[in-house]
Amino acid sequence: MTEWLLIAGMAVVTFLPRYLPFALAGKVVIPPLIARALGFVPIAVLTVIIVQSAFIRQGELSLSFDNHYLVASVIAFFAALFTKQLNWTILLGLITFALLKLFQ
């Protein structure tokens, strides 16, 4: 019996955070300042994920040319800065990483 209560509790805990924003969508007015700030959340989260995966290798800060993730990220950053095209950025980052792994 306790397993069923546990499953029901997990279902409620999983369902409510996903349902509440839809249920309150038309009833809550978000101030413009907060709405503008929320627009930066996806960029900030993606930046943290990429920076952490590029700089941290095996639990330690790795700032060397042996860190292929970091080198490919820097190349992709400059590709994005100069071309401003997502396809070239991804392509140059992936090619750089593949070549570094190949000639390791």
Q: What is the dihedral of CA 64, 68, 70, 72, to 10 degrees?
A: 140
Kindly report the length of the chain. 104
Whether residue 98 has pLDDT greater than 80: yes
pLDDT of residue 102: 95
Q: What is the mean pLDDT of residues 47-63?
A: 90
**DSSP E strands, 10-100:** 56-57, 60-61
Lowest mean pLDDT among 18-22, 31-35, 40-44, 48-52: 18-22
Q: What is the pTM of this model?
A: 0.65
Contact 62, 70 (CB under 8 A): yes
Going by C-beta distance under 8 Å and a sequence separation of 6 or more, which residues neighbour residue 53? 69
The model's confidence at residue 1, banded by pLDDT at 50, 70 and 90, is confident
Q: Token pair of 48, please?
A: 């943290």
